[in-house]
Chain A
Amino acid sequence: MSGLSIDKISMRFDLPDGGHVQALKDVSLDLKAGELLSVLGPSGCGKTTLLNIVAGFLAPTEGQIVLNGHKVTGPDAERGMVFQQGALFEWMSVRDNVGFGPSMKGMPAKEKSEIVNHLLDVVGLQDFKEKAVYELSGGMQQRVSLARCLANDPDVILMDEPLGALDALTREKMQSLVLKLWKETGKTIILITHSVEEALLLGERLLVMAPRPGRIHKEYRLPFADLGVGQDLRDVKKHPEFAERREEILGMIWDMEEEIMGRAEEKA
């Protein structure tokens, strides 16, 4: 069976003060190979926890993750991860960062350098390959992160707010790059974001999560990711349905935030 299956995941853990947190409750989802899912939700809705469970960094208390027919028990090269920032190895050059995965596998140098060179071309960093990563701008660093992840040829790419720390202009360029890479490589991607626009632009499917306990609130299937490939994303944003969806989802998240605030006030 090809694809990623998130099967009734629950996550509950104890706190030192005797209480407990229900971070996720009965989250189920099936992703076909090559699908791009974006996940939105107010803070505390468990979206990063969910991603960490899929990556294998956390064990769920109930349920399981099944990828291509086998159960996920820990981190593995089949599930690549792109972090917000600070996950590059600053003691390595751009080239060594991109070639990290192949090196760990013991891939022959020639084969590895072909992969690295190809990916540096794809992300447009061929001229920077000998630089140290800390000499690059934030946007360039995230290009290195993407290339490093792709160099390992994972089945699934997990992105934890990869563009969150970038300025608005760089962010738009990077959104186009993510779409382009998705189309060209046909990878399954799960992207977590805080930006409703980004979730709409990039998500073929969009998941809105609700907090306390973290659960799936609503799911959408959207046309914008397909429309956006190779296009100016600003044109996509002019699409009438885009504005409609954006307002709808913003309202939804706004209500959730209001509810959290209300509960906090009750407690106080």
Chain B
Amino acid sequence: MIPLLVYVVIFVVAFYVVRFIADKTAIQDYTSLKTVTFGDESAVRSNRAASVISIVTIFVIWGAFTGSKLLPGFMHAPGPFIGDTSFTYTAEANGQTDDATVYFRVHEAGESVEPIATEPGDGFAKNDTELVAAWRSKLLRVDKNDDIGKDEGAKVIAINGQPVDAGGSVEVDGGVVTLSDKGTPNFSPHAGWQMEPIWLPSPEGVFLRTIEIASAGFQGFTLWEHLGFSLYRVILGFVCGAIIGIPLGYAMGLSDWFRGWFDPIVEFMRPVPPLALIPLVIIWAGIGETGKIILLFLAALWIMAIAARSGVSGVKISKVHAAYSLGASKAQIMRHVIVPNSLPEIFTGARVAMGVCWGTVVAAELVAAEKGAGKMIVAASKFQNTDIVIMGIILIGIIGFGIDVLMRYAEKVLVPWKGKG
């Protein structure tokens, strides 16, 4: 809740700050002179400052709530309590009471430290000294060194002088002491607002882990091998799907028999999510490469067939008529009119298909694989390697985005006539 609140505050504050600055430096172009902007889509231009602040904000919040070393200390959210603390407990036995002190040293997880040195003290209740790691808690058998233990009827009745019953808690320096149902004190040091690295590692932790995995590897394969295998499967599956799907789509666009024969199949298979085919593909082809390629082939096939079909159907009849009256043969019309006219649709289909394939391959690897981006993150999650999981998600996102950008670029270069007909 707190990070969300911080996020909303930054969103609102940045809006007013940027608007205040932008008002003073605004350039006067045509759009800036429009008085109707609410509802005029063309007047809504993506605010670059907002984009930059948005991305910086995500990293700042991530850093602040994970105690990132990239951020100065004052920007950190309050961290967990670390250091020494103590509280006293009052034990009662056989009508007499006695106080003793418990010394706690709260240390960072994984560090080995010595407990605080202490004297047993007087009375039947003796002083204790204990260690606890930050974000953890410790159930404390305070009576284990006392002269009269719990078994002899001793009972903790107060913490720091405040009376407390089983199940109740008392705030102490650096944490909370709760009496368990059986009357044993349990000390939880304050966790603060930061996230524990096993739930959310800091940005630099993820980055360092990326470098480590890139060279040392994870589960027997380097990062590049994991990502490369996923990409290789996508490309191979997509290419197979396109090689079969495009001619199939052309045939469906050009012949009524093909259209009639394949329409029911294509229209049925198109809405079936490729993920639903994973179990069947595993049964038939196993979890190896063949199964993955078949799955991605099926994911790309229908999309490419439909794209090619609509590319052919979309050709203006006047263009075909014109070509016939200019003396073109059927083969020439195919090559010089139908194919170039359908290319924009095919590129759009290819972009969609690559996106779907990328999503499908990751999902298929989550289910079963030896290597691949999906395999890497699902294996890491089993070992609570949150940093690898986050790194994997970020890299999968970057690659998916990269594929889309490349396809758009290829489209711009190869079919500049798109939408101009």
On A, residues with C-beta under 8 Å from B are 55-57, 74-77, 79-81, 83-84, 86-91, 100-101, 104-105, 132, 134, 148-149, 152, 154, 158
Contacts and interface: CB of A to CB of B under 8 A. Distances in A.
Interface string B387-421: 00000000000000000000000000001110011
Interface string B298-333: 000000000000000000101101111111110010
A134 to B, nearest CB: 4
Interface centre among A90, A132, A134, A152 (most CB of B within 10 A): A90
Interface stretch (B23-31, B88-96, B217-225, B336-344): B336-344
Interface in B342-376: 343
Given A55-B321, A57-B321, A81-B322, A86 B417 contact: no
A208 B319 CA distance: 28
B326 A91 contact: no
Given A83-B322, A87-B316, A90-B421, A77 B416 contact: no
Contact of B321 (A75, A88, A149): A75
A100 B421 contact: no
Nearest to A79: B325
Contact of A89 (B336, B343, B415): B336
Contacts of A56: 324-325
B327 A81 contact: no
B327 A101 contact: yes
Contact of A90 (B323, B327, B329, B417): B417
A72 to B, nearest CB: 12
14 contacts: A55-B321, A57-B321, A75-B321, A79-B325, A80-B326, A81-B321, A83-B322, A86-B421, A87-B321, A89-B319, A89-B340, A90-B421, A91-B417, A104-B329
Given A90-B420, A132-B417, A134-B417, 13 more contacts: A57-B324, A77-B326, A80-B325, A81-B322, A81-B325, A86-B421, A89-B337, A90-B421, A91-B341, A91-B417, A100-B323, A104-B326, A104-B332
Contacts of B327: 76-77, 101, 104-105, 152
Nearest to B319: A87
B420 to A, nearest CB: 4
Contacts of B316: 86-87
Interface of B: 316, 318-319, 321-329, 332, 336-337, 340-341, 343, 415-417, 420-421
B416 A132 contact: yes
Contacts of B420: 90, 132, 134
What 4 A-B pairs come out closest when comparing CB atoms? A77-B327, A134-B420, A75-B324, A87-B318
Nearest to A83: B318
A18 B207 CA distance: 73
A56 B323 CA distance: 13
Interface centre among A57, A79, A91 (most CB of B within 10 A): A91
Nearest to A52: B321
A132 B420 CA distance: 10
Contact of B325 (A75, A86, A90, A105): A75
Nearest to A135: B420
A167 to B, nearest CB: 20
Nearest to B332: A104
A205 to B, nearest CB: 22
B326 A101 contact: yes
B336 A100 contact: yes
Contacts of A158: 325
Contacts of B328: 100, 104
Contacts of B417: 90-91, 132, 134
Contacts of A148: 322, 326
A165 to B, nearest CB: 12
Contacts of B340: 89, 91
A86 B318 contact: yes
A48 to B, nearest CB: 11
A119 B198 CA distance: 75
A86 B323 contact: no
B346 to A, nearest CB: 13
A80 B328 CA distance: 12
A154 B327 CA distance: 10
Nearest to B415: A91
Nearest to A156: B325
B325 A100 contact: no
A91 B327 CA distance: 19
Nearest to A82: B322
A52 B69 CA distance: 77
A154 B329 CA distance: 17
A226 to B, nearest CB: 28
Interface centre among B316, B318, B340, B341 (most CB of A within 10 A): B318
B328 to A, nearest CB: 5
Interface centre among A84, A100, A134 (most CB of B within 10 A): A100
A125 to B, nearest CB: 18
Interface centre among B324, B332, B337, B341 (most CB of A within 10 A): B324
Nearest to B343: A91
A187 to B, nearest CB: 14
Interface centre among B321, B326, B327, B416 (most CB of A within 10 A): B326
